[in-house]
Copies of this chain bind each other. A is one copy, B any other.
Amino acid sequence: MKQPIRICMVGAGRVGKNHLRAISRHVPSGQIVALVDPVQPVLHETGTEFEIEQQFASLEEALEGAEFDAVIITTPTPTHLPLTSLAARHGKQVFLEKPMALNLEECDQINAVTAEHHVLLQIGFMRRFDPEFVAASQRIEAGEIGQPMMIKSNTHGPGLPPPWARDLRTSNGMLAEVNSHDWDTLRWLMGSNLERVYTEVANFKGAANNVDTPNFYDNVLVNVKFESGGLGLISGVCPCGYGYDARAEIIGEKGIMLIGSLEGQALVVCTNRDHGLVQPVVRTWPERFQWAYIYELEHFVECIRTDTPPRASGLDGRLAVAGVLAGTKSFLEGRPVYLKEITG
């Protein structure tokens, strides 16, 4: 048995706990040795739940007080650049949650600092490790459905994002915080970068949820034109109430491929013929992507061990942010926006 890679988890909230659960229960090759969160009760509660003795209010303190090989950063987007820079400068390998950053300048700085200090950078695009998405990608690349012509990807989630994540003044809103993965999925499965996007948004539940943030939206459709000539669609609904819905469809010159399902378990019940068949829906993202989270973290550890560049790279992260910025600009200005307007 090799020694596990020692990891400092930065962020003890929802995403941090998801990764702690994955690693502590199912990824023996990694070991969480320190936990960081500026909010003391959250830090304490999560630390206790996962039996992590070394708890710190900041990454600085952790770097001083504990020994570890890598960090997993699961804190709000605006903190991604400073935390990554700090970790990189201390030679720590970096797993960074999506979205990578608020803008391309930050993405560029993150990529530069990790390269300069020769540390790995993996972005938390776990769909690239989901068995179904991976099989889909391999089969598309093998030519099974021919040249991709059209791709649709949706992420509809049950919960209203936190205030900072739905406010265009502090984040890039739902397109970034909820639909982040779709931007990456589109590029990945289409095998092409985006050329231009057109976005429509709607706000149906904001008032009922007492959200009066300017430009808040809870429904979004992004029409995409790829450099390859193909077409794409990103669909977002949040909060959607009916479950966690992450599916994709790709149509190639030779055929169609449907990835994912609403079905949460193969367990069908009928007790009333007027009501009908009832089957569990996928309820949450940790449930839908349970294996994907395990595999992306195994991959991170394995990349550290073998000094291999991770599959979900800082370039992928940067291009997803570019899409978000173009998509947002589109609905704010009511016109199609070219990616080159964003990337220069």
Q: Using an 8 Å CB-CB cutoff, how does the interface string of A192-236 with B read, 1 for contact, 0 for none?
A: 000000111111110000000000001111111100011111010
Return chain B residues, CB-CB under 8 Å to A303.
none
Is A76 located at the chain interface by the 8 A CB criterion? Answer: no
Return chain B residues, CB-CB under 8 Å to A1.
31, 51
Q: Which one of B51, B139, B200, B261 contacts A225 once the chains associate, using CB atoms below 8 Å?
A: B200
Return chain B residues, CB-CB under 8 Å to A136.
267
Q: Which one of B24, B31, B145, B219 contacts A269 once the chains associate, using CB atoms below 8 Å?
A: B145
Return chain B residues, CB-CB under 8 Å to A131.
265
Q: A198-B198, A200-B224 are in contact. Are A251 and B237 (CB under 8 A)?
A: yes
Return chain B residues, CB-CB under 8 Å to A254.
241-242, 271
Q: A28-B24, A198-B336 are in contact. Are A277 and B262 (CB under 8 A)?
A: yes
The 8 A-B residue pairs whose C-beta atoms are closest, nearest first, are: A255-B271, A28-B28, A261-B266, A243-B273, A242-B270, A223-B223, A258-B268, A242-B255
Closest to A255 in B: B271
Is A26 located at the chain interface by the 8 A CB criterion? Answer: yes
Is A260 located at the chain interface by the 8 A CB criterion? Answer: yes
Return chain B residues, CB-CB under 8 Å to A316.
none
Q: A251-B156, A269-B139 are in contact. Are A276 and B278 (CB under 8 A)?
A: yes
Whole-angstrom CA separation of A202 from B225 in the bound complex: 9
Whole-angstrom CA separation of A56 from B101 in the bound complex: 54
Q: Contact size class for A? A: 35 or more
Is A18 located at the chain interface by the 8 A CB criterion? Answer: no
Is A121 located at the chain interface by the 8 A CB criterion? Answer: no
Return chain B residues, CB-CB under 8 Å to A202.
149-150, 225, 229-231
A235 to chain B: closest CB distance in Å? 7
Return chain B residues, CB-CB under 8 Å to A198.
198, 200, 223, 336
Is A17 located at the chain interface by the 8 A CB criterion? Answer: no
- Besides A150-B237, A241-B253, 14 more A-B contacts (Cβ < 8 Å) are A2-B51, A26-B28, A198-B200, A203-B229, A233-B235, A241-B273, A242-B251, A242-B270, A242-B273, A256-B268, A258-B269, A274-B283, A276-B280, A277-B279
